[in-house]
């Protein structure tokens, strides 16, 4: 069964309040996305594997631990781009692989227009980055692409999610782990998350519709 973790933390609730506010300007919106991505990643990376290594401190030699897996960051274009830099700060050796997906407004189904995944040497862990999990269609498409690549451990990181999207991902990709800052009430008739925060891509990049 898909592991679903709604990360409960006062800092997350505080920053989400400002992120959701329609008067928050794009520059502050981007900063808040980055802060929330870091808090989410802390929980999502809790089970990463490490290996022992020997290092020399200013005083002596000692045994320490370092990450031992190849980690891939997979932002879903374009809104997922806002979550990449803060995670690269935490995981500077991570690989970044891009997937371009958009939602067909007539059908609410995902349409893939770009993929930068090779057909060889998959990473050990993939973190799919998408601020909003609405219908779950884009996340499922990304998970299926990574599954075809052969990635053994799959995780989705979203700032907010709709119950419908969580259920869809759970049903379609039972091996995946899902980490969100908040699961909202519902999708409206236009398949937008309610109460939500609007369109994360438009708000991040100052391109109002």
Domains and CATH numbers, the chain: 3-205 (3.40.50.2020)
pLDDT-derived band at 109, boundaries 50, 70, 90: confident
Distance CA 163, CA 46 (A): 24
The number of residues making up the chain comes to 209
Residues 51-67 have a mean pLDDT of 95
Q: Residue 126: name the closest of 165, 154, 157 by CA.
A: 154
- The active-site residue out of 20, 31, 78, 103 is 103
- Has residue 104 got a pLDDT over 90? no
Q: 202 an active-site residue?
A: yes
What pLDDT, on the 0 to 100 scale, is given for residue 1?
Answer: 44
Give the tens place of pLDDT for each residue, 9-42: 999 999 999 999 999 999 999 999 999 999 999 9
Helix, strand or coil, per DSSP, at residue 46: coil
Q: Say whether pLDDT at 67 is over 70.
A: yes
Contact, 120 vs 150, CB < 8 A?
Answer: no
Residue 199 appears among annotated catalytic residues:
yes
Looking at the DSSP bridge assignments, the partners of residue 195 are: none
Tell me the DSSP string of 16-41.
HHHHH-TT--HHHHHHHHHHHHHHHH
**Does residue 119 carry a catalytic annotation?**
no
pLDDT at 188 over 80: yes
pLDDT digits (tens, 9 = 90+) for 80-90: 999 999 999 99
Distance CA 180, CA 37 (A): 10
103 is catalytic: yes
Indicate which residue of 20, 78, 170, 199 is catalytic. Answer: 199
Annotated catalytic residue within 65, 107, 148, 207: 107
């Amino acid at each position: 069964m898909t592991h679903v973790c709604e990360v409960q933390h006062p800092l997350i609730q505080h920053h989400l309040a400002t992120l959701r506010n329609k008067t928050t300007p794009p520059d502050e919106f981007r900063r808040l996305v980055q802060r929330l991505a870091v808090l989410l990643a802390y929980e999502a990376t809790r089970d990463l594997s490490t290996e022992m290594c020997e290092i020399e401190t200013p005083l002596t030699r000692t045994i320490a631990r370092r990450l031992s897996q190849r980690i891939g960051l997979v932002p879903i274009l374009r809104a997922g781009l806002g979550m990449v830099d803060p995670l690269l700060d935490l995981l500077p050796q991570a690989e970044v692989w891009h997937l371009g997906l958009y939602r067909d407004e007539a059908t609410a189904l995902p349409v893939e227009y770009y993929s930068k995944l090779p057909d060889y040497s998959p990473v050990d862990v993939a973190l799919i980055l998408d601020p909003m999990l609405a219908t779950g269609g884009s996340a499922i498409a990304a998970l299926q692409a990574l599954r075809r690549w052969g990635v053994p451990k799959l995780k989705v990181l979203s700032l907010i999610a709709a119950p419908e999207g969580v259920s869809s991902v759970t049903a379609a990709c039972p091996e995946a782990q899902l980490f969100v800052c908040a699961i909202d009430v519902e999708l409206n008739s236009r398949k937008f998350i309610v109460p939500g925060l609007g369109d994360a891509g438009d708000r991040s990049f100052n391109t109002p519709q």
